Amino acid sequence: MFEGCYEHKLDEKDRLIVPGRFRSELGRRFYVTRGHEECLYILREADYMALAEIVRAVAAAPAGREADAQLVPMPSAQPGGVSNEALLTARAMFSPSARALQRHFFSDSYEASPDAQGRIILADSLKRYAGIDRTVVVVGVGDRIELWSPELWQAEMTGSREKAQMAARDLSLA
């Protein structure tokens, strides 16, 4: 589980040191992608692949029922020789929700592997998306790592107690 908050500076080659306590949990290969609220996500490979499957399940759900999408194993080939993969891909092309999610999460994502010092390069396009210049707030939030600009992180944390209380009510936890 990822937890804790760290502030790091990018070096002259735009490399970020991934906190040591996160590196072993991430493994040698992981993914960097856009997140919500103008931050970046670092996802373990398995979690990134699960995200891809969820987006595909949304595409396969009947129109208006995307929230009910379930990941159900399907045979690898359908009658007529069309693979399940091809059907899901085709359905995604006709689903505005699936296309929006695919573009958001996958169009700018990339596989990353830390160097011997635990550094990864942050792509310019992702830094622009998240408003990151030289300083990066690295936040462990359970199943993923979020990367924030200090200004956006501070804005996100303003009123965080109230946001957490509202979220708990929305999720029927309070």
Residue 80: its pLDDT value, please?
61
Residue 41 tokens, joined: 């996500």
Spatial CA neighbour of 110 closest among 128, 127, 123: 123
Give the pLDDT of the chain (174 residues) as one tens digit per residue.
Answer: 999 999 999 999 999 999 999 999 999 999 999 999 999 999 999 999 999 888 877 766 665 554 555 544 444 445 566 777 777 777 777 778 788 888 899 999 999 999 999 999 999 999 999 999 999 999 999 999 999 999 999 999 998 888 888 888 888 886
Q: H or E element: which one contains 103?
A: helix 96-106
Q: Beta 145-148 vs 119-121: how paired, if at all?
A: unpaired
Q: Is the dihedral of CA 49, 170, 142, 160 positive or negative?
A: positive
pLDDT of residue 174: 67
For residue 4, what are its two tokens?
Answer: 């804790």
Spans of all domains in the chain? 2-43+117-170, 48-105
Looking at residue 83, what is its pLDDT? 74
pLDDT at 76: 46
Is residue 137 within 8 A of residue 38, CB to CB? The reply is: no
Main-chain phi, psi angles of 151, to 5 degrees = -65, -45
For 122, the token pair is 């942050």
Contacts for 142 with CB less than 8 Å, ≥ 6 apart: 1, 2, 3
Q: How far is CA 62 from the centre of its chain?
A: 25
CATH of 2-43+117-170 given 3.40.1550.20, 3.90.1150.10, 3.90.180.10, 3.30.870.10: 3.40.1550.20
| CA 37 – CA 126 distance, rounded (Å) | 13
Per-residue pLDDT at 43: 98
Question: Whole-model pTM?
Answer: 0.82
User: Quick one: pLDDT at residue 138?
Assistant: 98
Strands (E), the chain: 2-9, 15-17, 30-34, 40-44, 110-112, 119-121, 135-142, 145-148
What would the 3-class secondary structure string for 143-173 be? Answer: CCEEEECHHHHHHHHCCHHHHHHHHHHHCCC
